[in-house]
Chain A
């Protein structure tokens, strides 16, 4: 069974540009989460989808971040316009809905904003 995949693995952009990160969850997992780790800080929750619906977006830092999960399969996280403080590693995780809801993480996307 394939794990959570993320694309790209690395992205380097200039301040003010737009970047879109993609996450493909484990097949059959309706829960999808985004987290990020900025330099020297702890891993922080961003938002949680159940299928295509946003269950919790309390961790989204501001309105420059837009997450979508059309069709309830893969998800995208767009940062527009990117700022220097957005640099970090963005992780995606997925899990089943229900009692067996252990989250499995992808390898992450390292975003560098210059």
Chain B
């Protein structure tokens, strides 16, 4: 799986949009971009994934550049409960390629 690079930490004011960047310059054509987060010591929580088109769900939006070498996770209205470690993972989909490879992630702190 391709390696990803994320800033170690970011801050965001409550109510504002949090934009978390991820570089994956060696991503292959069949690799998806996944985002997970881990709040305190809870289990990682799935947020969103995409291949090349921008995606949106009830939690977040995912913007992938046209060359697919980077992406941005957007939390449109961050709350204090969004404080967590956010992981950007690239991975081929399908049973044979199962495992997720976690890096250090970005520690997002949302402050009042």
Contact = CB atoms under 8 A, between A and B. Distances in A.
Nearest to A92: B43
B21 interface: no
B100 interface: yes
A33 B99 CA distance: 8
Chain A, interface size: which category? 20 to 34
A108 B95 contact: no
B94 A110 contact: no
B41 to A, nearest CB: 6
A101 B93 contact: yes
A55 B98 contact: yes
Contacts of B100: 33, 35, 45, 93, 103
A50 interface: yes
B104 interface: yes
A107 interface: yes
A46 to B, nearest CB: 9
A98 B93 CA distance: 8
Interface stretch (B6-14, B44-52, B68-76): B44-52
Contacts of A93: 43-44, 100
Contact of B43 (A31, A98, A101, A108): A108
B46 A102 contact: yes
A99 interface: yes
A42 B104 contact: yes
B98 A48 contact: yes
Interface of B: 34, 36, 38, 41-46, 49, 93-96, 98-104
